Amino acid sequence: MTYIVKPKNHHPLLEKNELGLTRRDYEGAVSTLCAGCGHDSISSAIVEACFQLSIESYKVAKLSGIGCSSKAPAYFLNQSHGFNSVHGRMPSIATGAAMANHELLYLGISGDGDSASIGIGQFIHCARRQLNMTYIVENNGTYGLTKGQFSATNDLESKSKYGDDNLFPSIDLPSMAIQLGASFVARSFSGDKEQLVPLLKAALSHKGFSFLDIISPCVTFNNHNTSTKSYDYIREHNDALSRPDFVPSGKEILTDYPKGSTVDVPLHDGSLLSLEKISENYDPADKIKAIQNIQESQRDGKVLTGLLYADPEAKDLKEILNVSDKPLNEMDLNDLCPGSEKLKDINSGLK
Amino acid sequence: MKIKSVNDFVIKFANVNGSGSASANQMFAKGVFRSGIPVSPKNIFPSNIQGLPTWFEVRVNEKGYLGRREGIDLFVAMNPQSYQKDVEELKAGGYLIYDSSWKRDFGREDINILEIPLTKLCVQEFTNPKQRLLFKNLGYVGLLASILEMDKDIYISLIEEQFKGKEKLIEPNVKALNIGYNYAEENFKDYCDIKVNKSNKTDGLILTSGNDAAGLGCVYGGATVCAWYPITPSTSLAESYSKYSEKMRVEIGTEKNKFAFIQAEDELAAMGMTIGANWNGARAFTATSGPGVSLMSEFIGLAYFAEVPTVLFNVQRGGPSTGMPTRTQQSDILCSAYASHGDTKHILLIPSDPKECFDFAVEAFDLADRLQTPVIVLLDLDLGMNDWSTKEFEWDDNNQYDRGKVLSKEDLDGIEKFGRYLDVDGDGIPYRTYPGTHPEKGAYFTRGTSHDEYAGYTEDGVKNAEMLTRLVKKFQTASSLVPSPVFNQEKNTSSMGIIYFGSTDCSMQEALDVLDEQNINIDAMRIRAFPFNLEVWEFIEDHDLLFIVEQNRDGQMRTLIMAEGGIIPDKLVSILCFDGQPITAEHITNKINAHISGKPALVAS
């Protein structure tokens, strides 16, 4: 997690967004991950999505656990507060933070070791509670920082770089997330920016628990020809459900998909995720079908990607707990302290 | 022989767990309290929901001695499973009350037996099988009111208050009370020589538990997030916060909550949520007990090193491991003071009664915000779960919350370069920012990895050592901010001193009076916080011999004093009690007497 600060010189002709900011303004420190790491592509997709959405970086909290993926928040959104917590515990930090101030955008970056093993309990309960956040698993099937042990998302048939057999079946996080009640679930591939950026924009715009499982090959430990999470394997087996297009609030739909071939997912903030169907049997509003699609694709040796499931109307944790619209961290003594008169009543009730 | 006493006795109830006895026993105690005599009810319950034996002890003492006392004057034995053991505990001349629907010979000639066929009477009067069982409890409360010559109307009002809103239930409950009362009036008039005479010794006092008080203190202290995981004996603390918040923290008009109450999936998550909320500027806390502290330790270390304010209530129970979940101990001193791996030290606040639980709960949030570090409030089961006669809660409406060194947008505008971990003021406490404060300044990366003054990751060992050294400086600053000790004397006059803390206080007051009567001159100090203030060290310096009274096996406070102050072990003599029962004054005085006279103590530790 070394900090190498980038120079701040911007070319005057760089494209600017609605806030007058360039993509450079959304970047972070120079990455210290291996050259070619999928995680760096995801970081740049996050930069692109935030740039396009004209997000104010300082209104974002980026949170992570431990591992290669959890280093990534240092490499985007320099003006955001970051919290690199302990292994597998990002969801609980995010839950507390989001309860304190629901007005920020919470972006959690996790990995497959972080979310599918040590922190699986927190992942499960965070999804179940419908925390309003975007939760990204940068999924490479391996423990990179400790040099190549299998993770729990590594497929059964996928051997290690050194030829070792994987003895246990993989955990499919998107199926779990859907079953647990997450209201936005997608899978994508770090090497497919065209699909990833609109999905990220939709996830960031969705109110509720947005889960993105992003296959992100580990060039050092899991990119060999017996791995099912290598660049080549994913490119060959990528089974995209749909082609997504994110339409911001108040903007026209510009894509010219043939009639009857699109599914529109209107999001809470007025924006729209317009999806061109590739698979016949595709309906992202249908939970059961979504899980079935994942299972079938897995059976056929493919990697299903795209928006898998979305319920834009689902309640989030703040609504479920009926928490005030004024952020709790802005409340002062006048809001919070019942005062001496009330205490006198309490005293008399205890006699 | 009959024990004769006015407003000074111990009564014990033996019941079957889950039979509804606890609320009746509680009502008995409250009736005595309302008669103006301080009481200390103690629920001695098994880790079980139904079926196992359970006891309830009430010490009634006009002088206000509220510690446990050995030897039972009155026994209400309602559980045949435990008859034999129960009767043994009764002092000679004591009174035994039992359900004589099934007669029994207890084989003791030196006690006075009051027979009341409660089951038979309840079967005659009630048809509902549940009521027949439940109302036996109120039956013996009625009997006690009669034999102790108490004002029966007090109990009738207590019943009316309890069933406010469910008025239909008042009549059968009063009837049950009268069954026992009338039976005793007819059969035991002037039989018992123990009496309750009305007094005024509870003026200015309330009857409540430490957990209830601490939960209320969190509401007054401005806590808005409580994340917790159920564990005995801390559960009722979180529930108290929720109960009072629902009453006093709901927005008028929107009916929305000015608090978030989250039952976490485990203690790890509870602590994570607490840290996340505090990091983001809300006052947040969690409550747990020993096993929970073990699970939270990794996160406590993060909060310490990343300097995130955090408030944790540890209601201690019998350890180690799962231990005795429903019995009391003070055995988490060391694991709280040094929780987590690496070099860590934490602020401890140690209240001694419910009033102080309320005050320290409020203070914990100020200290955590001021010092940007975990603050652990140490209660124990006896203090947390039992009702104590304690001073009324007080609140000064001029109080302000101390949110510590937090930079606003305007502050940041005036700063050239913000350094999250810069020691600007030389007190070891840096400045922090909340996320979302300023578009261009003040953002930083919170991390558990080694970092420099600007929160950047560093593997420079010298830099890391500097950061660790600054944390020691901060801890020194803390020693002047935490509550100072309480002394029993204005000026030290003895070469011997006693150090004690927490719930031991109630027995210590009595022990000190007894020692005084025995002409043993000894100074006493109650420690209320860690790090130890200067006054603590001065007291230790001032005495040649110090007794340290603790409710654990290893003398953990003694170890902490030795470790932190380099005090010679020979100077510190442990007085220990770790049988899961609250320590008694007799235990303390016996041990001190034995040490002074050079004879081994008779009371086992």
For residue B11, the surrounding DSSP H or E stretch is: strand B8-16
Query: Do B233 and B385 meet the contact criterion of CB atoms below 8 Å apart?
Result: yes
* Contact flag B260-A346 (C-beta cutoff 8 Å): no
pLDDT bucket at B47, cuts 50 / 70 / 90? confident
Residue B82 per-residue DSSP state: G
Look at residues A71, A95, A98 and name the one whose alpha carbon lies nearest to residue A82: A71
Q: What residues of chain A, 326 to 345, have a C-beta less than 8 Å from chain B? A: 326, 328-329, 331-333, 335-340, 342-343
pLDDT bucket at A57, cuts 50 / 70 / 90? very high
**Helix, strand, coil abundance in chain A, percent, nearest 5:** 35, 20, 45
**Domain that residue B294 falls in:** 208-391
Query: Is B139 within the bounds of a domain?
Result: yes
If asked whether residues B261 and B179 sit together in one domain, one would say: no
CA-to-CA distance for B133 and B129, rounded, in angstroms? 6
When CB atoms are compared, the residue of B284, B437, B457 closest to A96 is B284
The phi and psi torsions of B12 (rounded to 5 degrees) equal -130, 140
Residues of B in contact with A73 (CB under 8 A): 445
Query: Do B115 and B161 meet the contact criterion of CB atoms below 8 Å apart?
Result: no
Q: What is the CATH number of the domain that holds B547?
A: 3.40.50.920
* Contact flag A81-B443 (C-beta cutoff 8 Å): yes
Mean pLDDT over A276-305 rounds to 91
Look at residues B356, B336, B353 and name the one whose alpha carbon lies nearest to residue B288: B336
Distances (CA, A) of B480 to B338, B339, B426, B533, B534: 19, 22, 15, 6, 8
Which of B339, B358, B391 is the last residue before a domain boundary? B391
Q: What is the CATH number of the domain that holds B42?
A: 3.40.920.10
Query: Do B207 and A350 meet the contact criterion of CB atoms below 8 Å apart?
Result: yes
Q: What is the DSSP string of B515-578?
A: HHHTT---EEEEE-EESPPHHHHHHHHH-SEEEEEESSSS-HHHHHHHHHH---GGGEEEEE--
Q: Does residue B602 surpass a pLDDT of 70?
A: no
Amino acid at B563: A
Q: Does B444 touch chain A (CB under 8 A)?
A: yes
- Report the share of chain B in percent with pLDDT over 90: 97
Look at residues B96, B122, B127 and name the one whose alpha carbon lies nearest to residue B109: B96
Residue B421 token pair: 């971990």
Query: pLDDT of B306-355, one tens digit each?
Result: 999 999 999 999 999 999 999 999 999 999 999 999 999 999 999 999 99
Mean pLDDT over B361-377 rounds to 98
Q: Does residue A44 surpass a pLDDT of 90?
A: yes
* Contact flag B256-A325 (C-beta cutoff 8 Å): yes
Q: Hey, which residues does A185 pair with through a beta bridge?
A: A211, A309
Q: What is the CATH number of the domain that holds B283?
A: 3.40.50.970
Which of B195, B220, B250 is the last residue before a domain boundary? B195
Q: What is the DSSP string of B353-381?
A: SHHHHHHHHHHHHHHHHHHTSEEEEEEEH
Q: Which of B279, B420, B460 to mutate to test the interface with A (most CBs of A within 10 A)?
A: B279
pTM for the full predicted model: 0.96
For residue B150, the surrounding DSSP H or E stretch is: none
Q: Does residue A131 surpass a pLDDT of 90?
A: yes
Q: Strand, coil or helix: what is B451?
A: strand
Q: Strand, coil or helix: what is A250?
A: coil
Per the omega criterion (within 30 degrees of 0), is the bond before B325 cis? no
Shortest Cα–Cα distance, A97 to chain B (Å): 4
Residues whose CB falls within 8 Å of the CB of residue A226, separated by 6 or more in sequence, listed in order = A158, A159, A163
Query: Is B412 within the bounds of a domain?
Result: no
Q: Does residue B369 surpass a pLDDT of 90?
A: yes
Mean pLDDT over A87-107 rounds to 98
Query: Do A152 and A143 meet the contact criterion of CB atoms below 8 Å apart?
Result: no
pLDDT at B605: 43
Residues whose CB falls within 8 Å of the CB of residue B339, separated by 6 or more in sequence, listed in order = B293, B296, B297, B300, B301, B346, B374, B376
Residue A155 per-residue DSSP state: -
Residues of A in contact with B401 (CB under 8 A): 332-333
Q: Does residue B371 surpass a pLDDT of 90?
A: yes
Look at residues B320, B336, B330, B349 and name the one whose alpha carbon lies nearest to residue B549: B330
Q: In what order do the strands lie in the sheet with B8-16?
A: B39-44, B53-61, B8-16, B72-77, B90-99, B112-116
Distances (CA, A) of A238 to A99, A235, A304: 37, 5, 6
Mean pLDDT over B377-401 rounds to 98
How big is the CA angle at B228 (ends B528 and B368), to the nearest 5 degrees? Answer: 40
pLDDT at A5: 65
Look at residues B262, B269, B273, B350 and name the one whose alpha carbon lies nearest to residue B308: B273
If asked whether residues B381 and B352 sit together in one domain, one would say: yes
pLDDT bucket at B599, cuts 50 / 70 / 90? confident
If asked whether residues B324 and B375 sit together in one domain, one would say: yes
The two beta strands, B310-316 and B194-195, are unpaired
CA-to-CA distance for A250 and B75, rounded, in angstroms? 78
Which of B373, B391, B409 is the last residue before a domain boundary? B391
Residues of A in contact with B433 (CB under 8 A): 81
Residue B234 per-residue DSSP state: T
Q: Does residue B64 surpass a pLDDT of 90?
A: yes
Q: Nearest chain A Cα to B402, which residue?
A: A333
Cβ burial of A258 (10 Å; 0-12, 13-18, 19+) is: exposed
If asked whether residues B221 and B187 sit together in one domain, one would say: no
Residue A40 token pair: 């760096």
Cβ burial of A172 (10 Å; 0-12, 13-18, 19+) is: buried
If asked whether residues B231 and B149 sit together in one domain, one would say: no
pLDDT at A7: 67
Look at residues B105, B111, B115, B57 and name the one whose alpha carbon lies nearest to residue B83: B105
Query: Is B250 within the bounds of a domain?
Result: yes
Q: Does A1 touch chain B (CB under 8 A)?
A: yes
Query: pLDDT of B80-130, one tens digit each?
Result: 999 999 999 999 999 999 999 999 999 999 999 999 999 999 999 999 999
CA-to-CA distance for A177 and A350, rounded, in angstroms? 47
Mean pLDDT over B425-436 rounds to 98
Mean pLDDT over A208-220 rounds to 97
**CATH class, A23-334 region:** alpha beta
Query: Do A306 and A244 meet the contact criterion of CB atoms below 8 Å apart?
Result: yes
Dihedral angle, C-alpha B306, B312, B318, B324, nearest 10 ° = -110
* Contact flag A95-B227 (C-beta cutoff 8 Å): yes
Residue A115 per-residue DSSP state: I
Query: Do A92 and B273 meet the contact criterion of CB atoms below 8 Å apart?
Result: yes
pLDDT bucket at A3, cuts 50 / 70 / 90? low
Distances (CA, A) of A209 to A175, A180, A282, B477: 14, 11, 21, 42
Query: Do B310 and B228 meet the contact criterion of CB atoms below 8 Å apart?
Result: no
Query: pLDDT of B536-559, one tens digit each?
Result: 999 999 999 999 999 999 999 999
| Domain ranges across chain A | 23-334
If phi > 0 it is left, if psi is from -120 to 50 it is alpha, else beta; for residue B255 that is left
Distances (CA, A) of B575 to A24, B318, B503, B540, B550: 67, 17, 15, 16, 6
CA-to-CA distance for B316 and B39, rounded, in angstroms? 23
If asked whether residues B174 and B245 sit together in one domain, one would say: no
Q: Does residue B480 surpass a pLDDT of 50?
A: yes
Query: Is B46 within the bounds of a domain?
Result: yes
Q: Does residue B219 surpass a pLDDT of 70?
A: yes
Report the number of distinct structural domains present in chain B. 3
CA-to-CA distance for B8 and B91, rounded, in angstroms? 14
If asked whether residues B148 and B271 sit together in one domain, one would say: no
CA-to-CA distance for A108 and A106, rounded, in angstroms? 6
CA-to-CA distance for A35 and B58, rounded, in angstroms? 72
Query: Do A188 and A199 meet the contact criterion of CB atoms below 8 Å apart?
Result: yes
CA-to-CA distance for B134 and B21, rounded, in angstroms? 8
Query: Is B25 within the bounds of a domain?
Result: yes
Q: Whose structure tokens read 């204005």?
A: B490
What interface predicted TM-score (ipTM) does this complex get? 0.96
When CB atoms are compared, the residue of B268, B269, B435 closest to A104 is B435
Look at residues B288, B274, B262 and name the one whose alpha carbon lies nearest to residue A126: B262
Query: Is B62 within the bounds of a domain?
Result: yes
Q: Which of B341, B344, B445, B452 to mutate to test the interface with A (most CBs of A within 10 A)?
A: B445
